[in-house]
Amino acid sequence: MRLKFWGVRGSIPTPQPENLRYGGNTPCLEFRSDAGALLIVDCGTGIRMLGKALVEEFGSRPIRAHVLISHYHWDHIQGLPFFLPLYRKANEFRFHSFDLPQASLEKTLQGQMANPYFPVDMGAMPAVRGFAEITESPLKINDFTVLSRRINHPQGCLSFRIENRARSVVYATDNEPGEPSSDRTIRDLARGADILIYDSQYSREQLGKEKKGWGHSTWEEGVRVCQDAGVKELVLFHHDPDSNDQVIDKIQESARARFPNSRAAFEGLEITL
């Protein structure tokens, strides 16, 4: 299994010179299974460059992929209207997430392209699109197996355990610790995983004061989850818009002092398991 990070920033894109090493695009990951299946996780602004890379790679061949969406806050879906493969008729994408009380997955994604928010609606995308509500039952996608669980975030969020031939990656972004059921869920989902990709947006001081209730976590909590659940590697993710390269360097250094096999995600990071 291979994974690549196309967007690692939280909340809003930050295309500033002081953020160039880690990157300013919002969340998007690409997974390739050992058999070559394509799985995309989240549709932040990083998906735009992923789309361009896929078009170059596949040429005239059709692109078929499944897309997992953790939740519907804009930083996790705002790149979708700029995903070039959706504008090619031969391609096919199946989206998976949870339905909201007021709208289905399909209607929710359509909403960000509705008048007056975007010049065209999803009807301008001729690619075949499918939409499926995700449950806690294991989801088989080619030779991937995906387990999904709810975690603590305003308006809801899913965490994913993605497995492929005895290797496992847990994606747990947008989580606020302190809710006992959610804390147990993340540790159970991460048990024995090769990699935990974890929300490290805030400092401990921020989380205890002005950012309490905003739905994010700290590098310290990521370390605790790894230690409690026997995870092999921690990847710090969803970097705060106000954290420049130097700030993220310090967060990475602090995490490594407590859990040596830690690193901060950056755009273009590729990992093979």
Q: Where are the domains of the chain?
A: 2-272
Q: Is the dihedral of CA 216, 239, 193, 41 positive or negative?
A: positive
- The string of DSSP codes covering 250-268 is HHHHHHHHHSSSEEE--TT
Topology (CATH) of 2-272: Metallo-beta-lactamase; Chain A (3.60.15)
Q: Is the bond preceding residue 116 a cis peptide, omega within 30 degrees? A: yes
Provide the pLDDT for residue 185: 97
Q: H-helix or E-strand containing 167?
A: strand 167-172
User: Residue 165: its pLDDT value, please?
Assistant: 95
Beta bridge partners of 196: 170, 234
Q: pLDDT at position 248, please?
A: 98
For residues 3 and 271, is the Cβ–Cβ distance under 8 A?
yes
pLDDT of residue 268: 98
How far, CA to CA in Å, does 230 sit from each of 188, 191, 222?
10, 6, 12
Can you give the pLDDT of all 273 residues of the chain as single tens digits? Answer: 999 999 999 999 999 999 999 999 999 999 999 999 999 999 999 999 999 999 999 999 999 999 999 999 999 999 999 999 999 999 999 999 999 888 999 999 999 999 999 999 999 999 999 999 999 999 999 999 999 999 999 999 999 999 999 999 999 999 999 999 999 999 999 999 999 999 999 998 998 888 898 889 999 999 999 999 999 999 999 999 999 999 999 999 999 999 999 999 999 999 999
Beta strands 92-97; 64-68: pairing state = parallel
pLDDT of residue 257: 98
104 token code pair: 């289905």
Bridge partner list, 31: 3, 39
Burial class (CB in 10 A: 0-12, 13-18, 19+), 219: buried
Helices (H) and strands (E) in the chain, counts: 6, 14
